[in-house]
Every structure is written in structure tokens, then in C-alpha cells.
Amino acid sequence: MRYAVVLSLAATLLGGFAAHAHPGHDHDSPDPVRTPNPVVAPTFAGPGAFAAGGLAVLAGGVLVSRRKGFVVPVGVVAGAASLTALAAADDQKVPAAQAHFEPFRGTLELRADGDTLFVGSNGFPDHPMMIGIKAWQQQVPLPQPYTGKNAWQIPLKPRLADKPISGKTSLYRGAIALAVNGVPIFNALNNRGEDAYLAGELDEYGGHCGRGDDYHYHVAPVHLEKTVGKGNPIAYALDGYPLYGYTDAAGKEPTDLDEFNGRTENGRYRYYSTKAYPYINGGMRGVVTVRGDGIEPQPRDAPVRPAGRPLRGATITDFTRDDDKKAYTLKYEIRGQPLSIRYTIRPDGTYAFVSTDAAGKETTETYRRRDRKDGPPKK
């Protein structure tokens, strides 16, 4: 296997020099990691993704990341991430499911036992957040403690359920899947049973914050294919089955998906993303344990502030972050008036929030993080 990886990498490198020439899980026979086309990664790609794809520096071209000002040679950037994941799976004997998270290892904690993949993260994606939201409950993104014993758990031996659970009537509480960048994915319907996307609650990447100031997606994070490559999973449902992008291995959008947005291919069940509801896995086709309308086990978020209320007429226009200084600013408008919230995580563990109104008046509030003890987070 190790030699196959070397040969595949050589072929990809040659393709990169030749004017960028173009070149699918269950517990018994996991899908191979598919090598994506050598296309340029998006400018918001972060250091974790570039670290995983570090072999790509042998090709020509330059890519500048707005996030940290990185300058990265490109040409086979997208291909290198999947090759690195495949090499990691071979060298370390990691499960195939874990290999699909490897491109984001720089920001994740990954470990596995015989039955479960544990994924630790802070729930922060390496892309802009919140911009474009028009139905906002005044929540803001905060790093979450999804690590250690509070890590995400993905079954490595998924089983189809005799009685699947539909997301149309259940699973309104907590996550139903985990994107390969460590960001949770919630039911496409919010806790009121409404389509979160159609309600204007989501940002440009299909995410927003819940009552615990926890960022999560409600539609498929298909943009992750630019890092992991087409033909590789972009997420895993909490029943252990993978979620793919819009197209199958033949490059076509499936037309025969079941009510859960999935189908069986070569004896292996998988979910697909769609551009219309349910957008993601439409429930749990596999075996899970549900308590209080949420899947267990799953991590708890750690709220800082009381849950917010809808702020009518608000549109979020910008969100900036300095993760090193733990300083963040969210800007929004109401009837054309600019407003903002600045917040900082201090060394003593307190959270300082400074709100600026249309007249420029500032109001400061300070909080300490609270431990959630009432089950998975709501919407």
C-alpha cells in the first residue's frame, strides 16, 4: 500500500506540471480515499489544511491565504491532502473513517479504539462565519470544549436500523453529524421545525450559532470538497455512515436517494448532500441511541451567556477573528444603522463583551463559562 501511495503521488505531481491535467463506508469494506482533481484550494483555506497538503509545494503557482497571509505554491494542493490521508491510514493503521479527517489534523484530536472514532475539536471552522444571516438570535461564535472525554464519537461498525429515525419529526436537539473539519451538523430543521436555510438563519457556509454560542452547520458543508477532494466524505453522521457531496463516483447527482438522503452502493450505505431539503442526512438510517430528542452520546457545549432573542431587522455584515489574541468582532446593521459586538476571552477565563449601538455608545458585560448539564444543545 505504501508503494501505491508513492506512485499515486508521483502521478499527481506529474499531472501538476503538465498544465494541471485532470486525473466512496461500512465496517466490513471501507471506501478508499479518492484522489481529487489538482485544482487550486480556496483562499480561505487555513493552516491545518495546508499542513495536511504540504507535499503540494513542488508544483508551480502561488496561492495567498487571507486568513494568516500564507503564501503557498499550488498545482497539486487539493490532491496532496487526500494522498496524505491515505498514507496516514496505511502507516498508522488508522480506520478509513479517521483518514477522512486527517486533512484537518492540525486543528483536531484524532484517536480510535476498535469500535469508535473520537474526534476532538473546538468547533471553529477555518472559514468566515455568520456573514449574511438575516434571522439572528444575538448568538456569536465561541470556541467549544469538544475534547478529551467530551469529544465527538463516530461508530466504526455502523449497522442499519430496523426502525430508522426521521429528521422531519425527531432529532431537533443537538447534532446529527460531524463535518470532517470538526464542526457539528444539526438537523436541517431548527428547534421549531422550520427549514433553517429558508428562514434566513444561516451564513454563506450554511452555519450559525446556537443558544450555547456554538457554531454548527444546518446544510451540507460541500465547500470542504475543495480540501478533501470530490469523491471523499465531507462528514460522518452520528450513526457512523458517511455523508458525501452532491455527486457520486460517476460525477452525477443521485436521483434514487431514500427519505434519509442515502442509498446503498456495493453493499455499503452512504448519505448524499442535496441542494434542496433535507440538504444533509435526513435522519438516522443507522442504529443510534436517542434521549430527549437528541443522539447520545455526543459532546456538550459550554454556554457563556444566557440564550439570546431574535433581533428583528438585523443583518450580519462582517465577522473578524484573531484566534491568537482570542479577540472577535461581529458587525451587523438594523435599518442601515451599523452596530457591533466585540468580545475577548481573557487569560483569567472570563469573557468580555462590548456592544456598540448606532450612537456609538458602548456597553460592557463580563461572563464566565457555564457547564451545560441539560443534554445536547438546542438549535
Residue whose C-alpha is closest to residue 106's, from 141, 74, 155, 68: 68
pLDDT confidence of residue 45: 36
Is 320 a residue whose pLDDT tops 80? yes
146-190 pLDDT, tens digit per residue, is: 999 999 999 999 999 999 999 999 999 999 999 999 999 999 999
pLDDT confidence of residue 157: 97
Inter-axis angle of helices 2-17 and 77-92, nearest 10:
170
Which grid coordinates are listed for 151? 469529544
The residue-averaged pLDDT of 34-40 equals: 36
Quote the CA–CA distance of 6 and 1 in Å, as a whole number.
9
**Beta-strand runs (E) in 167-304:** 175-179, 184-186, 207-209, 215-217, 235-237, 242-244, 262-265, 268-272, 283-286, 289-291, 294-296
Residue whose C-alpha is closest to residue 81's, from 198, 203, 228: 228
Q: How confident is the model at residue 39 (pLDDT cuts 50, 70, 90)?
A: very low
pLDDT confidence of residue 92: 57
Q: Report the amino acid identity of residue 51.
A: A
Check: CB of residue 351 under 8 Å from CB of residue 344: yes
Is 28 a residue whose pLDDT tops 50? no
- Mean pLDDT (the chain) is 81
Neighbours of 364 (CB within 10 A): 9
81 vs 275, which has greater pLDDT? 275
Contacts of 345 (CB under 8 A, 6+ apart): 142, 143, 326, 351
**Pick from 58-62, 89-93, 331-335: least confident:** 58-62
The residue-averaged pLDDT of 283-294 equals: 97
Dihedral, CA atoms, 217, 218, 224, 225, nearest 10 degrees? 170
Q: Which residue has the cell 466524505?
A: 233
Q: Is the dihedral of CA 65, 184, 30, 106 positive or negative?
A: positive
pLDDT confidence of residue 242: 98
Sheet containing 242-244: which strands, arranged edge to edge? 207-209, 215-217, 184-186, 175-179, 235-237, 242-244, 268-272, 262-265
Contacts of 120 (CB under 8 A, 6+ apart): 108, 109, 110, 146, 147, 148, 151, 152, 182
Is 268 a residue whose pLDDT tops 60? yes
Q: What are the phi and psi torsion angles at 48 (to 5°)?
A: -65, -45
The single-letter DSSP state of residue 280 is S
In the chain, what percentage of residues exceed pLDDT 90? 70
Is 36 a residue whose pLDDT tops 90? no
Quote the CA–CA distance of 273 and 21 in Å, as a whole number.
27
pLDDT confidence of residue 372: 52
Is 9 a residue whose pLDDT tops 70? no
Prior bond of 143 cis (ω within 30°) = no
Is 216 a residue whose pLDDT tops 90? yes
pLDDT confidence of residue 46: 38
Residue whose C-alpha is closest to residue 56's, from 16, 11, 102, 107: 16
pLDDT confidence of residue 369: 76
Strand, coil or helix: 366:
strand
CA 154 to each of CA 115, 175, 241: distance values in angstroms, whole numbers, following the listed order: 9, 12, 9
CA 187 to each of CA 78, 277, 345, 368: distance values in angstroms, whole numbers, following the listed order: 29, 11, 29, 29
The residue-averaged pLDDT of 210-226 equals: 97
Count of alpha carbons within 13 Å of 329, Cβ hemisphere only?
A: 10
The single-letter DSSP state of residue 184 is E
Q: What is the DSSP string of 120-134?
A: EB-S--SS--STT-S
The residue-averaged pLDDT of 30-58 equals: 37
The single-letter DSSP state of residue 215 is E
User: Quick one: residue 182, left, alpha or beta (phi over 0 = left, psi -120 to 50 = alpha)?
Assistant: left
Is 2 a residue whose pLDDT tops 90? no
Q: How confident is the model at residue 10 (pLDDT cuts 50, 70, 90)?
A: very low
89 vs 76, which has greater pLDDT? 89
Q: How confident is the model at residue 191 (pLDDT cuts 50, 70, 90)?
A: confident
- Angle among Cα 134, 275, 189 to the nearest 5 degrees reads 55
Is 200 a residue whose pLDDT tops 70? yes
- Segment (H or E) for 315: strand 314-322
Residue whose C-alpha is closest to residue 236's, from 280, 192, 292, 171: 280
CA 320 to each of CA 132, 182, 316: distance values in angstroms, whole numbers, following the listed order: 14, 20, 12
